Each structure stands twice: as C-alpha cells, then as structure tokens.
Chains A and B, each alone.
Chain A
C-alpha cells in the first residue's frame, strides 16, 4: 500500500438557492412567489421533551449569523415561564453580547453582501480589489464584534456561555476592559461607515411598510420592550399571537407571518429605527443626522445607512456598558424548582428583526411545545410585496437584468436569504 497525494482544487459551494416565479398578464404583474430551497429543519420538534435549560444552546444552532438572538429570546421566554427577573450587571452583559452580534452581523451585511450592489460590482471579492480600504474597515469592524462574542460568549460562533438566568461565567473587569481600545476604534470605523454609505448612489423608491419592532421605555430595543407598529399597534409581547399569525403557503417550506386580519409587515433595522430613533445614543443620532436620513426611512435601499447607524449605536452602547461594568457576585440567577406546567414567551431584536419564542413546559421542566417565529419568516411576505413592485417598475428589462434587480431587492432586507440566493432562478410566465 502506498500513500499518495492527489491535487483536487475543488471549489466548495454552499448548497442553497432561491427561486422567484413572476406571472405577467397584459403587462400587469399578477403574481410573485419567492421560494427558498431549504429543507424543513424541525427545530420546534427537536425541542420537545428536552429540558428548558437546553433551549438556549439548541436554538442557537438555528442561525450562525445571529445565534445570540436565539439564545436571548429562549432565555427570556424561559425566565418569563419561571417568573424570574434578571437585572443589574447580568442584564447589561446580555445587552453587551447582543451588541457584539449586531456589530458582526450588520457589518457583514453592509460591507460584504450589500455594498457591492451599490457600486456596480458583482461581489465582495471585486469590492476588495476596487475598494480595499472599505473592505479592510469592514473586516476590522466585524472583528471587534467577533471579539466581544468570544470574550463574553466563549467563542465567536454559537456562543456557549449563555444560560437561563444569565451566564455560566462572567468576565472579569480586566477581561472586558481589554476590549476597550478595539471598541473605541470600532466606533470611529462605524461612523466612517455611515459617512461612506450615505454617499452611495441609492435608488429613489419608497414602500408603504407597516413597521413592527420592540419599543422600550428608555433604551433602543435589544432584549425587551412592547411590540409596536407604525400603524398604531401597541401590545405586550405576551399578546404577540393575538396580533400576528403564521400561515402556510404551498410554494414555500417557510411559514409566512402576517398581521391578523391584515397583510404583510416589516421587521428589522428600518422598523426599529422608525419606531425608536429617539432612543439611539448621541453618536448614532449624530451619525444619522450627518447622513441626512429622515426619522422614518421607507426606501429599502437606504437600509444600508440605517444598518450602519445601528452599528454606531451598538459600539457606543458596548462602550457604555463596558465602562460601568462590575463583575456580578454570581454569574446567573438560579432558576426556581419547576413543579407545575408553565408557559413563557419573549421577543428580542435580532439584527434582522424581532424574534419571538413561546414555550410550554410540563411540570418536570421539559419542553412540551415550542414556537419560534424568526424575522425571515415575518419579512418573507413583505419581501414578496417589494419584489412585485420591482417587477412592475422593470417590465421592460430583460431577464438577467430583472434577476439582478430582484436579488438586490432581497438583499436590502435579509442577509440570510441573500446569502443562499446568489443565484436567484427567475421564471417569468407571460400571457
């Protein structure tokens, strides 16, 4: 037997694709259907029969870009079920971890997924060639978010240090303090990012969105708040399912969320900003003002600016928390014994938008039922509406140009869809 080396040079690809079917009759768009080819993942079923303590680690696996969001929504939902209150420094550390995720996720979206579209470039590789200084800035900023996740979460992706009641271990003052110089630099880079994206040639469109997000009494929303909408909805998170419902559509494995008795709505940066701009920190507010964006942004392309403003906020909020940090005596609030069946729900603000979790626990603390409504499924109906308008404006385009326009419209909202949709298969049925 001999050992041999075989040169391969095979390009590995993420296996995911989206398809858009457009039906046009007499120069009118009759129907638009967006399909994302992702097999059902059965997370809600996996959770049944597992201890409530396992939910943060299991649900974190739903998304590699926003695992913290899943950990936070599941922890808060369990704490609601168990009537626990987590305050003080542990609450602050949760916000800090969330800031790390926002910095990382938003920066990835702004620089590597969104920016090439506005500069007429095919992808991030070409962007790195033509605008190396911008990509370096983006990567440095993303790294600052990654470091926060590493120090507080135990590792950059799928953190392992989060538990119901708080953390397994809280960092020392010195460990967190060591992040300060990098975060200060990141704040400056985030402000530069806002200035940079504000100068981009953005298409001038406006959509009539119903914005939905959390709103908190004092803070820009991350972990807590009421659910509010730009059309007057204001409810506690516990009433979420009275206002929103998930519906099955034959053309997608993902459920679509709609307002009960209404239509599509939008969660995410545009919604958060429209409903909470008065809660931003001074640096983020100044950055938004300098960028010249109004208090309510209805142009989906301008989400690149709003996302950049939210990165400024995440950096300044992280620095605020860091400076006031004192290591808590205990890293978590111990959960009480469970002896009765309980129900708990919570919503937090993932970078892509509101993430709702509800759990029913049996008397032994095992999960009897889980419901998870992700931002992607909440926005999918609304993204279809955006796509319909894109197609209506672009009937004269040939199909490659139309495909490109539709891919861009998706990338305004969702890094997850856009990541798996580099090759949107467009089918136009004309009659």
Chain B
C-alpha cells in the first residue's frame, strides 16, 4: 500500500544518481524486495508504470528481485540495487 510513497523517493533517487554520473537515459533499474517488506512484485510494477513516464527512467526495464530470506537484516526493506544507463 505504500508503493506510491516509496516510489516517490525511488524515482527521485534514480534521477539524482543518473545526474551525478552523467547518465542521459536510464535503461534498467534493479530493485531488491525484502521478505518482510509487505510489498508484492505485481504491486511494484503497477506503481512503476505510473511513476516513470516523464522521468529519466521512462522506458527503462524494471527488474525486481524478491528475497525469501527472513533472517536477512534488511528483510523489511526495499533497496534500489543498481541502475544501467547510457551516457
């Protein structure tokens, strides 16, 4: 349910990182979703489609890696692992 609030921060971060590394077009974004994060891949993808148009990540492929490891110290979190881009 918090996808919107989450993606608001994530897309901002993608733009910030891309700018910092002189990336002109983001082609791939990798997310890691912890086992206790309450988020589903399907829900994240739906939100992604709404959030990215008009941003530097428009048209980029979203890769979601869902962890099932309950003992991971970041099991409750969502991480922006990496992004690929041209520039």
CA distance in complex: A136, B77 (Å): 18
Binary contact readout B11-38 vs A (1 if CB under 8 angstroms, 0 otherwise): 0010001000101100110010001101
Name the B residues within 8 Å of A251 (CB-CB): none
The reply to whether B5 and A5 form a contact with Cβ atoms under 8 Å apart is: no
The reply to whether A6 and B42 form a contact with Cβ atoms under 8 Å apart is: no
Binary contact readout A390-431 vs B (1 if CB under 8 angstroms, 0 otherwise): 000000000000000000000000000001000000000000
Q: Which of A6, A112, A132, A139 contacts B17 (CB 8 A)?
A: A6
Instruction: With a 10 A CB-CB cut-off, give which of B9, B36, B43 has the most chain A CB atoms.
Output: B36
The reply to whether B75 and A8 form a contact with Cβ atoms under 8 Å apart is: no
Name the B residues within 8 Å of A112 (CB-CB): 36, 38
Q: Which of A64, A128, A157 contacts B71 (CB 8 A)?
A: A128
Secondary structure at the B interface, as helix, strand, loop or mixed, is mixed
Name the A residues within 8 Å of B74 (CB-CB): 11, 125
CA distance in complex: A274, B72 (Å): 40
B57 interface residue per 8 A CB criterion:
no
Interface residues of B in 34-53 (CB under 8 A from A): 35-36, 38, 40, 42-43
The reply to whether A8 and B13 form a contact with Cβ atoms under 8 Å apart is: yes
Q: Which of B6, B35, B72, B87 contacts A13 (CB 8 A)?
A: B6
B78 interface residue per 8 A CB criterion:
yes
Binary contact readout A166-206 vs B (1 if CB under 8 angstroms, 0 otherwise): 00000000000000000000000000000000000000000
A218 interface residue per 8 A CB criterion:
no
For B25, the closest partner residue in chain A by CB is A1
Q: Which of B5, B43, B78, B83 contacts A6 (CB 8 A)?
A: B83
A: contact size bracket: 20 to 34
Name the A residues within 8 Å of B42 (CB-CB): 155-157
The reply to whether A4 and B9 form a contact with Cβ atoms under 8 Å apart is: no
Q: Given that A15-B5, A64-B2 are known contacts, is A3 also in contact with B79, CB under 8 Å in the complex? A: no
The reply to whether A3 and B86 form a contact with Cβ atoms under 8 Å apart is: yes
Instruction: With a 10 A CB-CB cut-off, give which of B10, B31, B70, B81 has the most chain A CB atoms.
Output: B70
Q: Which of A7, A12, A128 contacts B82 (CB 8 A)?
A: A7
Q: Which of A12, A108, A128, A135 contacts B38 (CB 8 A)?
A: A108
27 A-B pairs (CB sep. < 8 Å): A3-B85, A3-B86, A5-B28, A5-B84, A8-B81, A8-B82, A9-B80, A10-B13, A11-B77, A13-B9, A15-B6, A15-B8, A16-B2, A16-B5, A63-B1, A112-B38, A124-B76, A125-B72, A125-B73, A128-B71, A128-B75, A132-B70, A135-B36, A139-B70, A155-B42, A156-B40, A157-B43
